[in-house]
Amino acid sequence: MISVIIPVLNEADNVESFLRHLQPFRESGHELILVDGGSTDSTLSLAAPWVDRVLVSAAGRAQQMNAGAAVAKGNMLLFQHVDTILPDSAVCTLSSLGARSCWGRFDVCLSPGHWMFPVIAGLMNIRSRVTGIATGDQSIFVSRDLFDQVNGFPLQPLMEDIELSVRLKKKLHRSVSRTKY
């Protein structure tokens, strides 16, 4: 099972359309866990019908993602930001990894709008391939056993995703990258 963990804070404007894109996970028997860091808008009520579980945790993305992982039933954890859309093939791609110990990320593809966006996205993806470092906008996925071995996300206010990547690289040098979009 894949557990999709979604940290949110005041995302009422975007949460429903975002969660619609994740319904193939639920339809395939996987779980969606939304972890709210103290929203003061209608995020929770809008999201509740679209997810399997809603948690409220201390504010801070690392705390929220760790709280979601603590209750997750899946052997694969996918940490998904609300401003990031996965490719249609994501369920099959992640399911194909099975229960093996692994971690990785998807390539980023920025929304159209400026001619530099494809260049920026390409450089981000090259950086990740060369360094083995993933960022949250690249939809980090990690097997439960490996996540537990590195004690989850570090409790720091910024760049928790980069520190997690560093820890995962030390445990299992090679990451898996998947094309996005």
Residue 177 has pLDDT above 70, yes or no: no
CA 107 from centre of chain: 13
The order of strands in the sheet holding 176-178 is 53-56, 31-36, 2-8, 76-79, 141-143, 103-106, 176-178
For residues 69-82, average pLDDT? 97
Its domain, for residue 16, covers 2-178
Q: If we measure between CA atoms, which residue out of 180, 87, 95 comes closest to residue 138?
A: 180
Q: Which residue is associated with the tokens 């690289």?
A: 169
Compute the distance between CA of residue 135 and CA of residue 31 in angstroms, rounded to an integer.
22
Q: Are 132 and 105 in contact (CB under 8 A)?
A: no
Q: How confident is the model at residue 180 (pLDDT cuts 50, 70, 90)?
A: very low
Residue 40 has pLDDT above 90, yes or no: yes
What value does the mean pLDDT of the chain take?
92
Q: If we measure between CA atoms, which residue out of 142, 126, 125, 136 comes closest to residue 159?
A: 136
3 state DSSP class of 110: coil
CATH number of the structural domain spanning residue 76: 3.90.550.10
Q: What's the domain count of the chain?
A: 1
pTM strictly above 0.85: yes
